[in-house]
Amino acid sequence: MARLTAAVHVQHPTTMEWIVLAPGDEPEPALAAEITNPHAWEDGEVPDSSPGPEQGPPPFGFTGPDTAPEPEPEPTSPKRRTKTTRTNV
């Protein structure tokens, strides 16, 4: 586990409760994934935050590259009306 060198305020990913972690704390992986500032960590590196099988979806609604929104269809131009020609016979 990684150790903090600074106090941080972090929102728990499942309860959405704000938590204050003190220098020297070793937060659980779910909380550690929320702390992205390298200066907060003892070794200066953000711990690996890849979700394991026991963790839920990534925080803040990130869905990943495989769920990109579908492109909107191209607008179609209206069909042209043709004039009918009348002939007097």
pLDDT for 16-55, tens place per residue?
Answer: 899 999 999 999 988 888 988 888 898 877 877 655 555 5
Burial 39-66 (b: 16+ CB within 10 A, else e): ebbeeeebeeeeeeeeeeeebeeeeeee
pTM recorded for the entire structure: 0.50
Q: What is the pLDDT of residue 9?
A: 92
Helix ranges restricted to H, 1-89:
29-32
Query: ∠29-41-19 over CA atoms, to 5°?
Result: 55
